[in-house]
């Protein structure tokens, strides 16, 4: 991880990939909860999206460490509003 450019890691994997994974797992959660399968819904809702989001967060953070552009862009990708 961290070998991707910051833009690719953030926009492709965190924003667009995260949107796809989170919408899919939320939809599956809703279907399973309406079928009265709460434990499967919990696993589908959190067991799919949380590991993906954690892995992407680490990847974006590592890509931000390798970023050669303006420090403000790397800090914003890490969730920091201002440079340190």
Whole-angstrom Cα distance, residue 26 to residue 77? Answer: 25
* Model pLDDT, residue 37: 97
Q: How far is CA 45 from the centre of its chain?
A: 14
Contact (Cβ atoms closer than 8 angstroms) between residue 52 and residue 16: no
**What is the full per-residue pLDDT of the chain (84 aa) written as tens digits?**
558 999 999 999 999 999 999 999 999 999 999 999 999 999 999 999 999 999 999 999 999 999 999 999 999 988 886 644
Buried b (16+ CB within 10 A) or exposed e, 70-79: eeeebbbbbe
Cα 33 to Cα 19, 46, 80: the distances in Å are: 21, 13, 36
Contact (Cβ atoms closer than 8 angstroms) between residue 45 and residue 25: yes
* Model pLDDT, residue 80: 82
* Model pLDDT, residue 44: 93
Q: Using only C-alpha atoms, what is the Rg of the chain?
A: 16
């Amino acid at each position: 991880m961290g070998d991707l450019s910051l833009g690719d890691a953030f926009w492709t994997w965190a924003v667009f990939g995260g949107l796809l994974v989170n919408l899919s797992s939320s939809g599956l959660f809703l279907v399973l909860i309406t079928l009265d399968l709460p434990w499967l819904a919990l696993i589908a809702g959190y067991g799919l999206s949380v590991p993906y989001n954690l892995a992407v967060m680490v990847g974006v953070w590592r890509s931000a460490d390798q970023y050669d552009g303006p420090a403000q862009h790397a800090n914003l990708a890490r969730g920091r509003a201002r440079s340190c």
